[in-house]
Amino acid sequence: MRLVPAKTIVTRTKCPEQWFGCHYNMNLYRGCSHGCIYCDSRSQCYRVENFDEVNAKQDALSIVERELSGKRKPGVVGTGAMSDPYNPHEAELKLTRGALKLILQHRFGIHLVTKGTLVVRDLELLQAIGKQYRADVCITITTPHDEIAAKIEPNAPSSSARFDALEALAHADVYCGITLMPILPLLTDSPEDIRLLVRRAADCGVNFIHPWFGMSLRIGQREHYYRQLDRLWPGLRRQYEVTYGDRYMCDSPRSSELWDVFTQECRRAGIVWRMEDIIEAAGAWAQPQQLSLF
């Protein structure tokens, strides 16, 4: 763990409607220790050296405090796009917890994306933020099977542990759901697995699931992913090369069938999946407390 310099941390997003209604983006850490074989953040275009090493941004909370206090209007702060806010170092450093306290203090909202089950530590903060603005949590789950997750996400909590965290969030009345992405072609794209995952999510009480039945393969990311395929599933790399070539967006060949199964199960369980519906429901879920005159 090293401290890396940062000039700014809370930055404005261009299109809030495209990603959970987030007006701002915040990354307190750089790099990730989950070891996911497919991670898009390994791509050459992001220029993150030694991506598997987690580094904290120097004076992160002071910078967040300064930037939040300088915003003209509050909004939803998204975190987790490039580095998991609940990596193992967070248990000691508590940068994400500190940022949540500042978000609460300045009356902003929060949208968290994580594979880390440590998020349940901050339930009370999330509840408080949700009451005054909006707080929602996405836990990424790409397979319902722990044994497969252990191969493709070797250092992340098991899928079962993530389902347990979702159940705790839902029980605490925190608006929560699943980012079901990526779905790896020829590996995790069976209709049976999608059906099982949605049903387990429904049992946990989630509000939404946002899916992508495919994956990205950029320069840098592709090479790493193929090396892992050669190690874990020899011969599968060749099928990818024939099917996708140097394509960036790699949808599952079963994408249409998966959508049918997914939407059928979500409708049955009352789970929303369209981005516009997720954002609208998140706004309705938040119930800001009004101060009484008396």
Q: Is the pLDDT of residue 293 over 70?
A: no
Q: Is the pLDDT at 289 greater than 70, yes or no?
A: no
Q: What is the pLDDT of residue 44?
A: 82
Q: Measured between alpha carbons, how far is 207 from 104 in angstroms, rounded to an integer?
A: 23
Range of lowest pLDDT (95-104, 244-253, 285-294)? 285-294
What gap in Å lies between CA 224 and CA 201, rounded to an integer?
30
Q: pLDDT per residue over 6-36, tens digit each?
A: 999 999 998 888 899 999 999 999 999 999 9
Write down the pLDDT at residue 235: 95
CB under 8 Å to 41, separation ≥6 — which residues?
32, 48, 51, 82, 83
Measured between alpha carbons, how far is 169 from 175 in angstroms, rounded to an integer? 8
**Predicted pLDDT of residue 46:** 78
The amino acid at 272: V
pLDDT digits (tens, 9 = 90+) for 70-107: 998 899 999 998 899 999 999 999 999 999 999 999 99
Return mean pLDDT, the chain.
94
Question: CA 107 to CA 161: how far, in whole Å?
Answer: 31
Instruction: Count Cβ atoms below 10 Å from residue 26 Cβ, excluding itself.
Output: 26
In three-state secondary structure terms, 189 is coil
Return phi, psi of residue 104, to 5°: -65, -45
This prediction's pTM: 0.93
Q: What tokens does 261 get?
A: 């199964």
Q: What is the distance between the alpha carbons of residues 69 and 279, in angstroms, rounded to a whole number?
A: 25
